[in-house]
């Protein structure tokens, strides 16, 4: 397949590397080469099977609009844009396009989400939930999209409010701790990413999966199909 990777940051560069390792034809654009999505013209998108976006919350919406309007499938690993979710969903539907997004493309984390969803009802039985997320000092959004996903799973499964604490320091890849505490015991769930390779592999596999499809998908919905 032929992929266009948007963003040459740490994760974007690794996505391109992993895609090449899986025998795909890969092109990349750095943020300065694609201000406001201006580089996403028909000549650039010609024959592209999927665009994979790991840019910034500021840049991602313009990129999504350009790709969807051009009829090119999009995989979005960028977070911090979810307040625009419904408008993006409407655009994808109107254009009969396809977009797959995820707050975290690690396969392990997506099964972690399933575990969190299963345990969420315990919060209705005298437990208090808290989330701590720890990331590198350069991460733009706070809290992380992954932590927000965990929060939504816990709150929708219990009807209880759950707080998020965010830590930004050093070069931490990503750690998420979920604590459910009661007067009698404490339940702890932790996911600690050792590297960004898991994120990159998941995003590339998602781009392989998306070919020939239409619709609006979130990665946890399709992870079992990879």
What is the crossing angle of helices 197-210 and 107-119, to 10°? 90
Whether 58 is catalytic = no
CA distance 160 to 27: 45
**Rounded Cα gap, residues 15 and 67, in angstroms:** 19
Q: How far apart are CA 29 and CA 51, in angstroms?
A: 11
Instruction: Tell me if 200 sits within 8 A of 11, measured CB to CB.
Output: yes
The stretches of the chain forming alpha helices (DSSP H) are 10-21, 42-45, 57-69, 85-94, 107-119, 145-158, 197-210, 219-222
Are the C-beta atoms of residues 218 and 101 closer than 8 Å to each other? Answer: yes
Question: Which of 125, 135, 211, 213 is flagged as catalytic?
Answer: 135
Catalytic residue among 10, 24, 139, 152: 139
- Three-point CA angle 192, 198, 199, nearest 5°: 95
Helix (H) or strand (E) holding 3: strand 2-6
Residues 6+ apart with CB under 8 A from 139: 168
Q: Could you tell me if 51 and 27 are in contact, meaning their C-beta atoms sit under 8 angstroms apart? A: no
> Does the annotation mark 211 as catalytic?
no
Which residues are identified as catalytic?
Answer: 135, 139
């Amino acid at each position: 397949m032929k992929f266009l990777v948007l963003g040459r940051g740490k994760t974007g560069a690794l996505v391109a590397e992993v895609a090449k390792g899986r025998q795909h034809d890969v092109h990349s654009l750095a943020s300065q080469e694609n201000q406001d999505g201006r580089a996403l013209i028909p000549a650039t998108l010609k024959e592209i099977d999927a665009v994979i976006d790991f840019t910034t919350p500021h840049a991602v919406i313009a990129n999504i609009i350009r790709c969807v309007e051009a009829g090119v499938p999009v995989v979005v690993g960028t977070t911090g844009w979810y307040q625009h979710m419904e408008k993006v969903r409407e655009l994808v539907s109107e254009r009969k396009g396809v977009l797959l997004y995820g707050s975290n493309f690690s396969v392990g984390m997506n099964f972690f989400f399933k575990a969190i969803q299963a345990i969420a009802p315990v919060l209705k039985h005298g437990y208090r939930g808290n989330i701590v997320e720890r990331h590198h000092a350069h991460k733009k959004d706070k809290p992380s999209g992954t932590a927000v996903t965990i929060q939504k799973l816990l709150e929708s499964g219990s009807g209880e409010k759950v707080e998020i604490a965010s830590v930004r320091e050093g070069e931490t890849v990503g750690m998420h701790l979920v604590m459910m505490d009661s007067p009698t015991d404490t339940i702890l769930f932790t996911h600690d990413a050792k590297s960004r390779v898991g994120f990159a592999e998941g995003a590339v596999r998602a781009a392989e999966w998306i070919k020939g499809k239409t619709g609006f998908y979130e990665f946890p919905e399709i992870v079992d199909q990879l």
